[in-house]
Structure 1
Amino acid sequence: MHNAFWDHLKEQLSATPPDFSCALELLKEIKEILLSLLLPRQSRLRSEVEDALAADLLQREAERGDLNIPRLSKCVLSMMTLLCAPVRDEAVQKLDGITDSALLLRGIFQVLGLMKMDMRNYTLQSRQPHLREHSILHERAHSSCGSVLFGSPQFVDRLKRSAHALTEDFDSRPEEAMLAVSEQVSQEIHQSLKSMGLAPLSSDNTASLMGQLQDIAHAQNCVRSVIDQRIHLFLKCCLVLGVQRSLLDLPGGLSLIEAELAELGQRFVNLTHHNQQVFGPYYTEILKTLIPLGQAPQTGVESL
């Protein structure tokens, strides 16, 4: 809370007669914090907190002008001593020496904030094994769904046909093309998961998937750049090693389009060889004029 609140609280408690309106709100919040720190089995202590800080009782005492802040603070401190972690013992003990009611309530509220943080940390630590196990099972479930879908040749072929048809105008209208692809892929996945009796993708996962697909429309998209580089690497390997040997060591992320790459690689090799046979003599003469005699590489055009 801001200093202005505590200054106002001090003014109210110092007035004649004292004004307990802020103190009542603060005591109500202190009660809620204390109750939040209790474990389910601590029913007796819960009853003590409820009785000592009962809102209607405090309201009546405030109206009579005899709300005893020091007594209530002592009661709260005794409860805090029972509930706090050992690391907070010293802080609670220091509060016991404060005689100013406003300062004491401020100190109580601050230490209770630390105790709430301690309880949150304890709860997280105690639940960590369960959360880890839940996370593992969750990831396995989603990974199984992906494995089932993309392990189905029919599903993969259907996606390929759809994507191929929808990206015919990719060069001229990439954003429109990828928007259509993202919608179609989302629909295909939804229908396939439903037909297989598997859990559907969450709305967040669906939105994330569609967003990633639509981002491919941008030339600087990292996935698009990586796949482009790997396809170029594969084609270079085809020229050096041949198509079949290159397919044995296919770069990551290209396995689902292996058949298409095999066809592309063979056409690329055939075209390159045809180009070599037709224009090889011309290339040789050009290279002779560019490379000094004796420095020509051991593998010339004929080696392609």
Structure 2
Amino acid sequence: MPNHREEQADEPTDVPRLEELESPAGSPPQNVSLSHLMELQSCVSNLSLAHEIVVNQDFRFKSSSPPKDSLEGRVAEMVHRAFWDVLREQLESSPPNHRQAVALLREVKTMLLSLLLPAHVGLRAQLDQVLDLELIQQQVDRGSLDLQRLAAFITSTMAGLCAPVRDPEIRSLRLLTDPVDLFREVLRVLELMKKDMVNFTLLSLRPHLARQAVPYERAKFQELLHRQPGSLDHTSSWLQRAAQEERAALTPSPPGSDPGGRRSLSPSAVLNRAYMGLLHWDPQDHRYPETVLMDRDRLDTLGQRVDLLALQAAVLLLTSAQCGGAVLSLPGFVGKLKQTIAALLEGSQAREADLKGALQAVGEQVLVLVAPALEALGGPPLSQQGQDALRGQIADLWRPSNPIRTLIGERVQGFLQATLEAGPGRKAPDPPAMLGPQGPDLEELGARFSRLVHFNRSVFGPHYAPVLRGLLFPPRGEEGREVGR
């Protein structure tokens, strides 16, 4: 058996050490009750939310409302309209009925108090004094309630608490004189302010959450394993398949260097191949590894960007070969061409028929952009034969076996593989020279992919370790077996 401690000396720091980590304990099968399912759902929800906050730097809480053209949206609109109509009728009756207005003032006070910080001692006391609901009810009974005075205080308080981005809304509030419109807009802006406060708190806590993310997610996932036995079956199959593919791809070692005639597999190589496979996962295959399930949408999006970058690079390469490399050096030409290709290919990679049509449109637009570029260079226009050739070469990129598409795809995959092999905290490799125009996009994509992968390794290393140990270092007497059988 090879000395796997020596083999792992050059591994990235987030690859699990197979001789040290033990499999986290699962739990025996149990009867599934409604309370068990609710606890399981809560655990998954908390884990997903924490993961999204840490991994997605652009994550923000947004106001949720149903689409206006949906049944739920139409019902909500009808209910809201009826509510405000009742309020208007009550305020315009003689004498005015303030029952619903008092209820709204109570709601406004509660929302304002929720926006206060511990240091807002004076403002809290002022809110309790001005929006004293018992006093307001006494004023209603005496017929002396001054809604305009209370509205002015509310808008002034909101102006002092809101973020600068809400200043236009506050100015609009101060222009309203109709009490119904004012109440409606006050509640809407207060909801926005609550969202702003939550997002500000989230931004402040994100560095702390990032430091605690790995142990927190690992502990939460362990809870899931206790509640749901057999939750790593797909993960095991995923790693087994990657080990089989990596073993088949290894070239024979020099004679005498390895009794098995092949180089030994390393945990890093198997994991890298497994993660690379997620970029082009068959959408019909529902056996997605459980440990990466929370990032499936992100990885699918990255996979689509990989395909798009490869097609963009292939079109640029064909254009340069047919029209001369000087065309790509014109200021703004490459950027305009990339935008055109991205717009025409968006959403077309999934089906060959869609990709065919999109690439035909790309070929026509490339010719449209090339004509003025050649004229600006002072060169002759592209001949009809050259136009037909370029149009046909671009259209032929729909075939997965197209040699240009295959070559570019291999270069892109190789760059992403090298980025993973570099490991966290190390300088990423330079993009291949032939992908120069795509270099910045490729580096950004590689950095996102690498961060995602290395975070996943850090969290789930203890769960991968026993599977990899069984695949790469089987007990004596089983070393001759094929991995994954």
The question of whether the paired residues in 1 share the 8 Å contact of 2:155 and 2:174 is answered with yes
- With 71-80 and 130-139 compared, the bigger mean Cα shift is at 130-139
**Residue in 1 that maps onto 2:106:** 28
Distance 1:233 1:128 in 2: 37
Shift of 1:72: 0.7
Deviations 1:226-253, CA, capped at 9 Å, x for gaps: 5157358758979998754546225735
CA displacement at 1:84 relative to structure 2: 1.3
Cα deviation for residue 66 of structure 1 reads 2.2
Partner of 1:111: 189
Partners of 1:262 and 1:254 lie apart in 2 by 16
CA 28–202 in structure 1, closer or farther in 2 if over 3 Å, else same = farther
1: CA distance between counterparts of 2:113 and 2:156?
14
Q: Structure 2 stretches of 5 or more lacking a match?
A: 1-75, 271-466
Of 221, 237, 248 in structure 1, the residue corresponding to residue 264 of structure 2 is: 248
Q: Residues 106 and 226 (structure 1 numbering): CA distance in 2 closer, same or farther, change over 3 Å?
A: same
Contact 2:252 2:261 in 1 (8 A): no
Offset at residue 4 of structure 1 (A): 1.6
The sequence identity of aligned pairs, in percent, is 33
Q: CA deviation at 1:63?
A: 2.1
Q: Equivalents in 2 of 1:89, 1:40: separation in Å? A: 23
Distance 1:82 1:117 in 2: 16
The DSSP-based 3-state class of the residue aligned with 1:110 is: helix
Which residue of the partner structure matches residue 140 of structure 2? 62
Task: Report the counterpart of residue 11 of structure 1 in structure 2.
Answer: 89
Q: Deviations over 1:187-234 (max 9, x none)?
A: xxxxxxxxxxxx8985334235x2424xx4xxxx57426515735875
Identify the residue that residue 212 of structure 1 maps to in structure 2. 231
For the residues of structure 2 that align with 1:109 and 1:35, how far apart are their CA atoms? 14
- 1:263 paired residue number: 477
Which is higher, the Rg of structure 1 or of structure 2? 1
Letter in 2 for 1:27: L
Aligned length: 203
The answer to whether structure 1 residue 99 and structure 2 residue 177 are counterparts is yes
Taking the aligned partners of 1:105 and 1:236, their CA distance within structure 2 comes to 68
Q: Which runs of 5+ in 1 are unaligned?
A: 143-198, 269-304
Cα distance change, pair 29–264 in 1 and its aligned pair in 2 (3 A): same
Q: How far did 1:99 drift?
A: 1.3
TM-score norm. by structure 1 comes to 0.57
Q: TM-score, normalised by structure 2?
A: 0.37
Offset, 1:138 = 3.5
| Aligned-partner Cα distance in 1 for 2:140–2:94 | 13
SS of the equivalent of 1:263 reads: coil
Using a 3 Å threshold, how does the CA distance of structure 1 residues 245 and 56 change in structure 2: closer, same or farther? farther
Alignment of 1:1-304 (within 5 A): 2-138=80-216, 142=218, 202-208=222-228, 210-213=229-232, 216=233, 221=234, 223-224=236-237, 227=240, 230-231=243-244, 234=247, 244-246=260-262, 248-249=264-265, 252=270, 254-260=468-474, 263-266=477-480
Task: Give the CA deviation at 1:21.
Answer: 1.2
> Letter of the aligned partner of 2:149 in structure 1?
R
CA distance in 2, matches of 1:53, 1:26: 11
The secondary structure found in structure 1 opposite 2:145 is coil
The alignment's C-alpha RMSD in Å is 3.3
Query: Whole-Å Cα distance in 2 between the matches of residues 246 and 74 of structure 1?
Result: 81
Q: Which amino acid aligns with 1:227?
A: Q
**Greater relative contact order structure (CA < 8 Å, 6+ sep):** 2
Q: How far apart, in 1, do the equivalents of 2:131 and 2:118 lie?
A: 19
The answer (yes or no) to whether the contact 2:116–2:124 under 8 Å persists in 1 is: yes
The worse-fitting range, judged by mean Cα deviation, of 231-240 and 25-34 is 231-240
Indicate conservation of the 8 Å contact 2:173/2:186, yes or no: yes
Does the Cα contact within 8 Å between 2:240 and 2:471 map onto a contact in 1? no
Change (3 A) 1:234 1:136: closer
Structure with the bigger percentage of helix: 1
Contact 1:238 1:246 in 2 (8 A): yes
Change beyond 3 A, Cα 1:95–1:258: closer
